[in-house]
């Protein structure tokens, strides 16, 4: 069993870090009012507003902010300002034992997938795949349901995803249960062959991505296929793949055809259409907890992520 972090309480202070690219500062400032509505105080990491090319500070600075927030006993949870690129550059230098000994909420997605996977593997920690401050919360498009999903941090709650949220499509029928793992497909593929490659054995694999046209998604799924990651899973949850229209050539397989090519013959339940990822609403989920995918009834049930 993974370690579930303690639930947040009103009045708690959360740490804000930027492990990847520089966040939009205006959106970040706007997002703080939402944290106030949740009853939370906040503390910026020392280097959150740093800019080092396409990175939010040097690798050492971004790593220091992550370590500082886990070490600080006054910080009860950590929410990432944004994604982009760069968290994998320092993942091999993270003190993962520190996270295991100081379990806290870590909330983010996209590039943060690399941190989710590493902490799941080596800190044995449940983490949260959810909308970030500058890239989601601070924008006009931030959806009411996305906001509501933060409540899972304040009390242990089972999550239920049905077609009441979005239309779902079953690629392969059946029912499967297992630990929910995964995240951004590009980041999962880039971890293959490293000590941080996702463990899908006996697990439900969740994938999402943004801005990748069908041939790119094809290549990423092929990477997972050849690494044995698809056939080892007990079920596959396909989240949002936004901005995936072909740009380079007119002749193309559709995204649906690509998904079918890689998942339809695995003999495990596969459902697509979940609004989890670079989308609004963004249904936030804990990673590392037990979940049940019912492809017959098109439902996903996820156990609580906090204690």
- Each residue of 33-47: pLDDT tens digit? 999 999 999 999 999
Dig out the tokens for 243 from the structure.
């901005």
Provide mean pLDDT across the span 18-34: 97
pLDDT confidence of residue 247: 86
The single residue listed with the structure tokens 């006996």 is 202
Closest CA to 299 of 116, 202, 150, 161: 161
- Please identify which of the residues 110, 123, 146, 186 carries the catalytic annotation: 110
- Please identify which of the residues 47, 116, 129, 278 carries the catalytic annotation: 278
Q: Are residues 77 and 105 in contact, defined by beta-carbon separation less than 8 angstroms?
A: yes
> Would you say the CATH fold of 159-302 matches that of 13-153?
no
- Please identify which of the residues 61, 179, 208, 212 carries the catalytic annotation: 208
Q: Are residues 287 and 120 in contact, defined by beta-carbon separation less than 8 angstroms?
A: yes
The CATH number of the structural domain formed by 159-302 is 3.50.30.60
Question: Annotated catalytic, 278?
Answer: yes
pLDDT confidence of residue 10: 98
Residue ranges of domains in the chain: 13-153, 159-302
Q: What is the pTM of this model?
A: 0.97
Backbone angle region of 130, left / alpha / beta, with phi > 0 → left and psi within -120 to 50 → alpha = beta
Question: Annotated catalytic, 67?
Answer: no
Class of domain 13-153: alpha beta
pLDDT digits over 141-161, tens only? 999 999 999 999 999 999 999
pLDDT of 246 > 90? The answer is: no
The single residue listed with the structure tokens 């339940």 is 269
Secondary structure string (H, E, C) spanning 236-250: EEEEEEECCCCCCCC
Question: Annotated catalytic, 110?
Answer: yes
Rg over CA atoms, the chain? 18
Encode 24-40: b = buried (16+ Cβ within 10 Å), e = exposed.
Answer: beebbebbbeebeeeeb
Helix (H) or strand (E) holding 207: strand 204-210
């Amino acid at each position: 069993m993974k370690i579930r972090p303690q639930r947040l309480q009103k009045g708690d202070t959360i740490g804000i870090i930027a492990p990847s690219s520089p966040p939009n500062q205006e959106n970040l400032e706007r997002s703080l009012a939402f944290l106030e509505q949740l009853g939370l105080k906040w503390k910026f990491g020392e280097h959150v507003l740093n800019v080092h090319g396409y990175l939010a500070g040097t690798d050492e600075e971004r790593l220091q902010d992550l370590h500082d927030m886990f070490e600080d006993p006054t910080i009860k949870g950590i929410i990432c300002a944004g994604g982009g690129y760069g968290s994998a550059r320092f993942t091999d230098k993270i003190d993962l034992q520190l996270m295991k000994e100081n379990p806290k909420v870590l909330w983010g997605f996209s590039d943060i997938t690399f941190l989710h996977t590493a902490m799941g593997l080596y800190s044995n920690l449940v983490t949260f795949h959810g909308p970030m401050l500058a890239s989601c919360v601070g924008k006009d498009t931030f959806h009411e349901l996305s906001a509501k999903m933060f409540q899972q941090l304040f009390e242990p709650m089972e999550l239920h995803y049905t077609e009441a949220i979005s239309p779902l499509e079953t690629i392969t029928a059946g029912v499967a249960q297992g630990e929910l793992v995964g995240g951004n497909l590009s980041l999962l593929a880039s971890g293959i062959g490293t000590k941080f490659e996702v463990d899908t054995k006996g697990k439900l694999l969740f994938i999402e991505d943004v801005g990748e046209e069908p041939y790119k998604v094809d290549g990423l799924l092929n990477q997972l296929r050849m690494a044995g990651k698809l056939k080892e899973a007990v079920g596959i949850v396909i989240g949002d793949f936004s901005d995936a229209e072909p740009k380079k050539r007119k002749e193309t397989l559709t995204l649906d055809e690509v998904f079918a090519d890689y998942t339809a013959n695995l003999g495990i339940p596969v459902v697509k259409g979940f609004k989890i990822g670079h989308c609004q609403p963004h249904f936030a989920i804990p990673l590392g907890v037990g979940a049940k995918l019912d492809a017959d009834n098109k439902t996903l049930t996820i156990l609580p992520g906090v204690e």
